[in-house]
Chain A
Amino acid sequence: MSDETNPLRDAIREAIDENPVILFMKGTPDQPMCGYSARTAAALQTLGAPFAAVDILPDPRIRQELSALSNWPTIPQLFVRGELIGGADIVAEMYETGELAQVLGVEQPSAPEPPAAEGGQAPPLSIENRLG
């Protein structure tokens, strides 16, 4: 491909820039399609941090472009204020140490609770729709 413009990568970059907390995952927070994505979304939900979520499954190119952009091979990927925080393992570790709450600027619940299936976060973003 000689064309240098990459609208999909631009859309991903824009989504990362525009959303202070954004999670790229398989499925949606309410219907995660992978255990790693489920756990990561659940950690954010348990902390009550509002976050945008992008389902990467509808279009395999999203994952390709995201990984090229972030230099991170796996899904999920959590970005806070434009910066990659990590994948499922790092988010889980940071949740346990309280660092995740700190990064998100929320309070760590005194006792970690099993994730409640609550709504409350923004509806899933749909990158491919933005491209028409």
Chain B
Amino acid sequence: MATSEELKQRIETAIPGSSAQVTGDDGHHFEAVVVAPQFEGMSRIAQHRLVYDVFEGELGGRIHALSLQTKAPARTSS
């Protein structure tokens, strides 16, 4: 079963310089807020794809759902 801690570590390892806040404790549904310098200037689609790519093949399967919010560090939250 996946854990939010595992997801957090995998995101932060795969996207250098990122910080991820992952919640969800049922092992299948997670919510993540990911802040990464790489997101700067990227479209939302591209930002989400970058995170989805970390879990390629697992989303919809082992990880049923990963709700995402992505931000570049400089951008104030809106």
Q: Which residues of A contact B (CB under 8 A)?
A: 36, 63, 71-75, 84-90, 93-94, 97
CB distance from A99 to the nearest CB of B (A): 9
Q: Which residues of B contact A (CB under 8 A)?
A: 44-45, 48-49, 52, 55-56, 59-60, 65-69, 78
The listed residue (B55, B59, B68, B78) touching A89 by CB distance below 8 A is B68
Residues from chain B with a CB closer than 8 A to the CB of A75 are 60
B49 touches A72 (CB 8 A): yes
A89-B65 contact, Cβ under 8 Å, with A74-B59, A75-B60: no
CB distance from A50 to the nearest CB of B (A): 23
B52 touches A73 (CB 8 A): yes
The residue on B at minimum CB distance from A83 is B45
A90-B44 contact, Cβ under 8 Å, with A36-B65, A74-B52, A97-B78: yes
CB distance from A51 to the nearest CB of B (A): 19
Residues from chain A with a CB closer than 8 A to the CB of B59 are 73-74
B60 touches A90 (CB 8 A): no
A89-B69 contact, Cβ under 8 Å, with A75-B60, A84-B45, A97-B78: yes
The listed residue (A72, A85, A86, A89) touching B67 by CB distance below 8 A is A89
A73-B60 contact, Cβ under 8 Å, with A89-B48, A90-B48: yes
B52 touches A72 (CB 8 A): yes
CB distance from B47 to the nearest CB of A (A): 9
B69 touches A93 (CB 8 A): yes
Residues from chain A with a CB closer than 8 A to the CB of B67 are 36, 88-89
